């Protein structure tokens, strides 16, 4: 059985997990969402991205994995260059090494918890078998059960996803992201749709699993306590620009007040 | 302090809308004068109806005739079942290609929608006439008619169900590198499934009702027997066939209602 505690397979050697230089993003003729963002993230680092609504956090996350193309500037993720036009093979290679967790858990409600975790195998060779626990190869089923065990939900594997609470569903989404041992985990406000207790539990789980497995974690959060507690470093955006970038331990209330001023 | 004046009673009704509404009503009344039954026509027709009922009763219950009608009912049901089943199968890829935001061929979506509209707007009896002319009299023409009619019906509603499927799981799967087919099977189909099953059940009900009348133009099934009975003035046979059709449709509706309740 696959050991999810193993370090992820590194298919692309990179000194930095993420590198962004002068990134500009606008949609059509609309306003500029990201205005010259530059940052870099080391492998294994846990980084929180904070900022008020509309500051460009979610857009930045989507640009980082090529869901939305950059309008200008350089984006490199796990050694893959995402600047300009990106071919499908590069995107597929990158996404095979990346886990993405959304603000809402984005599970397929009517499918079992196990099927949802197996969906994490999509994009891999032979992934047409990943659409259901019924059709998945035995090794994938075992990997999915291991991932569910890591988030303490293995006993609920056969239940429908919508039978679980919001916090449990988010833990399933984390298991789905972890199931193929990604090098990079990107999470868009993973605790935003949860109550404070469930939100903190999910963030703690996230942070612990990433640290144990040496996964680079890049997450956005509205909760400053989460950002400071569960990240090694905090980066803040305001109106599409980086206005703060420093170790979490050194972030002060004054810094945060400036970000949301 | 005085309250502001409320908006005028007819403020929402523009002169153009009012004129169009009056014109539509006028068209309905003029048409009624030309095609609706007048009280005098109804009164004059009543004795004819009583005479017809008298000749239809009692229904023909001879065992040999009942067996023949039974087999025709089975054939009617086969036409409906096979036509609807094949139609639903064909509708799935058609709807996938026609659904905005889900189709792998964005430019094809309007073309497929127009194709489905064409199948839907032509009445089933017209399709039956076309298929009788091409593949000949009998059940095969009926099955093909039901197939085409089902694609016209299910193609549209399946496409709408695909378009309405929850977008967030689809985006989540795309983010991890899932292709369009994987997203379809992994996220779109499971979310749209209750709607697909409901539409499929309606299609089957509709197919049973359609298959009953297709025989009137030679496309097989019990309708053919009904036409023959009326053509030969065998009204007692006709009443038996009408009763049999009534029982089949009622049984079908009862079964599909139960199925629908289970699905929900």
Q: Which of A34, A14, A39, A38 is nearest to A24 (CA)?
A: A34
End-to-end CA distance of chain B: 55
Q: A157 with A145: CB under 8 angstroms?
A: yes
Within an 8 Å CB–CB cutoff, is residue B59 touching chain A?
no
Q: How far apart are CA A100 and CA A184, in angstroms?
A: 9
Q: List the single residue in A99, A108, A173 with the smallest CB-CB distance to B191.
A: A108
Give me the domain span that covers residue A117: 107-181
The DSSP result for A97-145, as a single string, is: TEEEE-SS----TTSBHHHHHHGGGTTSTTGGGGG-TTTS-HHHHHHHH
Same domain flag for A193 and A88? yes
Q: A94 with A82: CB under 8 angstroms?
A: yes
Q: Which of B237, B246, B235 is nearest to B52 (CA)?
A: B235
Q: How far apart are CA B216 and CA B165, in angstroms?
A: 40
Same domain flag for A93 and A191? yes
Q: List the single residue in A100, A127, A132 with the smallest CB-CB distance to B172.
A: A100
Same domain flag for A93 and A112? no
Q: How confident is the model at residue B163 (pLDDT cuts 50, 70, 90)?
A: very high
Q: How far apart are CA A41 and CA A234, in angstroms?
A: 11
Q: Which of B198, B159, B166 is nearest to B183 (CA)?
A: B166
Is B176 domain-assigned? yes
Backbone angles phi, psi at A25, to 5 degrees: -135, 130
The DSSP result for A21-63, as a single string, is: EEEEEE-TTS-EEEEEEEEEE-TT-EEEEE--TTSSHHHHHHH
Query: How crowded is the C-beta side of A112, counted as CA atoms within 13 Å?
Result: 21
Q: How far apart are CA B159 and CA B108, in angstroms?
A: 13
The whole-angstrom distance between A250's CA and the closest CA on chain B is 33
CATH code of the domain in which B224 resides: 1.10.3720.10
The whole-angstrom distance between B180's CA and the closest CA on chain A is 10
Q: Is the preceding omega at residue B58 within 30 degrees of 0, hence cis?
A: yes
The whole-angstrom distance between B162's CA and the closest CA on chain A is 14
Q: Which of A104-118, A199-213, B30-44, B145-159 has the highest mean pLDDT?
A: B145-159
Within an 8 Å CB–CB cutoff, is residue B5 touching chain A?
no
Same domain flag for A172 and A220? no
Same domain flag for A207 and A84? yes
The whole-angstrom distance between A209's CA and the closest CA on chain B is 19
Is B42 domain-assigned? no
Q: Is the pLDDT of residue A6 over 60?
A: no
Same domain flag for A228 and A204? yes
Q: Sort out which chain B residues have CB atoms less than 8 A from A104's CB and list them.
A: 168
Is B45 domain-assigned? no
Test B172 with A106 for CB contact under 8 angstroms. yes
Q: Which of B206, B191, B202, B192 is nearest to B257 (CA)?
A: B202
pLDDT tens-digit readout, A127-162: 778 778 888 888 888 889 988 888 888 899 999 998
- Region B16-35: what's the mean pLDDT? 91
Pick the residue of A127, A185, A190, A193 with the most B CBs within 10 A to test the interface with B by mutation. A127
pLDDT tens-digit readout, B202-246: 999 899 888 888 888 888 888 888 888 888 888 999 999 999 988
Q: How far apart are CA B241 and CA B116, in angstroms?
A: 34
Test B171 with A110 for CB contact under 8 angstroms. no
Q: Which of A173, A5, A183, A220 is nearest to A94 (CA)?
A: A183
Q: Sort out which chain B residues have CB atoms less than 8 A from A120's CB and list them.
A: 176
Q: How far apart are CA A40 and CA A231, in angstroms?
A: 15
Quickly count: other Cβ atoms within 10 Å of residue A103's Cβ: 18
Q: Sort out which chain B residues have CB atoms less than 8 A from A91's CB and list them.
A: 177
Q: How far apart are CA B78 and CA A135, in angstroms?
A: 32
Mean pLDDT of chain B: 88
Is B239 domain-assigned? yes
Within an 8 Å CB–CB cutoff, is residue B190 touching chain A?
yes
Backbone angles phi, psi at A170, to 5 degrees: -65, -35
Last residue in a domain, options A136, A156, A181: A181
Q: List the single residue in B168, B171, B182 with the smallest CB-CB distance to A130.
A: B182
Helix orientation angle between B124-135 and B139-164, rounded to the nearest 10 degrees: 130
Q: Is the pLDDT of residue A1 over 80?
A: no
Test B186 with A95 for CB contact under 8 angstroms. no
Is B46 domain-assigned? no
For A45: left if phi > 0, alpha if psi spans -120 to 50, otherwise beta; the answer is: beta
**Stronger pLDDT, A1 or B4, i.e. the higher one:** B4
Is A1 domain-assigned? no
Q: Is the pLDDT of residue A170 over 80?
A: yes
Give me the domain span that covers residue B135: 62-263
Quickly count: other Cβ atoms within 10 Å of residue A230's Cβ: 25
Same domain flag for A231 and A217? yes
Is B101 domain-assigned? yes
- Region A163-178: what's the mean pLDDT? 88
- The DSSP 8-state label assigned to residue B187 in this structure reads I
The structure tokens listed for A115 are: 């099927």
Is A164 domain-assigned? yes
CATH code of the domain in which A195 resides: 3.40.50.300
Q: List the single residue in A98, A119, A132 with the smallest CB-CB distance to B173.
A: A119
Last residue in a domain, options A181, A216, A243: A181
Q: A179 with A123: CB under 8 angstroms?
A: no
- Region B82-107: what's the mean pLDDT? 91
pTM: 0.73
Test B169 with A91 for CB contact under 8 angstroms. no
Is B56 domain-assigned? no
Q: What is the CA radius of gyration of chain A?
A: 18
Pick the residue of A108, A144, A181 with the most B CBs within 10 A to test the interface with B by mutation. A108
Test A67 with B174 for CB contact under 8 angstroms. yes
Test B182 with A123 for CB contact under 8 angstroms. yes
Test A95 with B176 for CB contact under 8 angstroms. yes
Q: Which of A37, A52, A34, A41 is nearest to A223 (CA)?
A: A52
pLDDT tens-digit readout, B120-160: 998 888 998 999 899 888 889 999 999 999 999 999 999 99
End-to-end CA distance of chain A: 51
Q: How far apart are CA A52 and CA A41, in angstroms?
A: 21
User: The complex's ipTM?
Assistant: 0.72
| Burial profile B134-147: b = 16 or more Cβ within 10 angstroms, e = fewer | eeebbbbbbbbbbb
Is A2 domain-assigned? no
Test B190 with A110 for CB contact under 8 angstroms. yes
Mean pLDDT of chain A: 84
Provide the number of structural domains found in chain A: 2
Is A6 domain-assigned? no
Same domain flag for A43 and A152? no
The whole-angstrom distance between A124's CA and the closest CA on chain B is 8
User: What does the pLDDT read at residue B1?
Assistant: 61
User: What does the pLDDT read at residue A2?
Assistant: 44
Within an 8 Å CB–CB cutoff, is residue B167 touching chain A?
no
The whole-angstrom distance between A126's CA and the closest CA on chain B is 11
Provide the number of structural domains found in chain B: 1
User: What does the pLDDT read at residue B162?
Assistant: 93
Same domain flag for A192 and A88? yes
Is A157 domain-assigned? yes
pLDDT tens-digit readout, A9-47: 444 445 788 999 999 998 888 889 999 999 999 998 999
- How many contacts does A have with B, using Cβ atoms within 8 A? 78
User: What does the pLDDT read at residue A20?
Assistant: 92
User: What does the pLDDT read at residue B152?
Assistant: 93
The whole-angstrom distance between A74's CA and the closest CA on chain B is 20
Test A108 with B171 for CB contact under 8 angstroms. no
Is B25 domain-assigned? no
Same domain flag for A193 and A92? yes
Same domain flag for A220 and A163? no
Q: Sort out which chain B residues have CB atoms less than 8 A from A99's CB and list them.
A: 176
Q: How far apart are CA A209 and CA A205, in angstroms?
A: 6
User: What does the pLDDT read at residue A14?
Assistant: 56
Last residue in a domain, options A116, A148, A181: A181
């Amino acid at each position: 059985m696959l050991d999810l505690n193993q370090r992820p397979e590194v298919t692309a050697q990179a000194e930095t997990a993420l590198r962004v230089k002068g990134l500009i993003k606008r949609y059509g003729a609309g306003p500029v969402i990201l205005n010259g963002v530059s940052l870099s993230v080391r492998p294994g680092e846990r980084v929180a991205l904070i900022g008020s609504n509309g500051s460009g956090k979610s857009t930045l996350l989507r640009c980082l994995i090529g869901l939305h193309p950059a309008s200008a500037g350089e984006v490199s993720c796990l050694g893959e260059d995402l600047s300009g036009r990106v071919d499908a093979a590069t995107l597929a290679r990158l996404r095979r090494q990346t886990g993405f967790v959304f603000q809402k858990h984005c599970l397929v409600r009517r499918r079992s918890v196990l099927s949802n975790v197996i969906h994490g195998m999509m994009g891999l060779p032979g992934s047409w078998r990943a659409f259901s626990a019924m059709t998945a190869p035995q090794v994938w089923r075992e990997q999915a059960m291991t991932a569910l065990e890591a988030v303490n939900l293995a006993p609920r594997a056969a239940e429908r996803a919508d039978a679980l609470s919001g916090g449990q569903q988010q833990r399933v989404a984390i298991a789905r992201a972890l199931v193929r041992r990604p090098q990079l985990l990107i999470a868009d406000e993973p605790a935003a749709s949860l109550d404070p207790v469930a939100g903190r539990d999910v963030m703690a789980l996230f942070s612990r699993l990433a640290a144990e497995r040496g996964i680079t974690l890049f997450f956005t959060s509205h909760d400053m306590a989460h950002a400071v507690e569960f990240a090694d470093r905090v980066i803040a955006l305001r109106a599409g620009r980086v206005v703060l970038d420093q170790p979490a331990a050194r972030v002060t209330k004054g810094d945060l007040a400036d970000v949301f001023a | 302090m005085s309250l502001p004046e409320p908006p005028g009673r007819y403020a929402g009704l523009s002169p153009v809308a009012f004129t169009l509404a009056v014109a539509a009503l006028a068209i309905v009344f003029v048409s009624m004068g030309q095609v609706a039954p007048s009280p005098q026509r109804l009164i004059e027709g009543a004795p004819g109806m009583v005479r017809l009922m008298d000749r239809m009763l009692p229904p023909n219950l001879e065992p040999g005739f009942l067996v023949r009608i039974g087999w025709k009912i089975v054939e009617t049901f086969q036409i409906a079942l096979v036509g609807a089943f094949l139609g639903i199968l064909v509708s799935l890829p058609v709807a996938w290609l026609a659904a905005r935001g889900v189709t792998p061929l964005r430019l094809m979506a309007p073309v497929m929608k127009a194709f489905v509209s064409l199948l839907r707007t032509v009445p089933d009896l017209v399709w039956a006439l076309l298929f009788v002319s091409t593949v000949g009299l009998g059940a095969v023409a009926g099955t093909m008619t039901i197939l085409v009619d089902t694609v016209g019906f299910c193609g549209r509603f399946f496409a709408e169900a695909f378009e309405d499927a929850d977008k967030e799981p689809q985006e989540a799967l795309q983010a991890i590198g899932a292709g369009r087919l994987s997203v379809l099977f992994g996220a779109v189909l499971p979310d749209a499934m209750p709607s697909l099953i409901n539409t499929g059940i309606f299609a089957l009900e509709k197919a049973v009702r359609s298959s009953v009348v297709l025989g009137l133009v030679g496309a097989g099934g019990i309708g053919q027997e009904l036409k023959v009975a009326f053509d030969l003035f065998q009204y007692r046979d006709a009443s038996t066939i009408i009763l049999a059709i009534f029982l089949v449709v009622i049984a079908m509706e009862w079964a599909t209602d139960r199925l629908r309740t289970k699905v929900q």
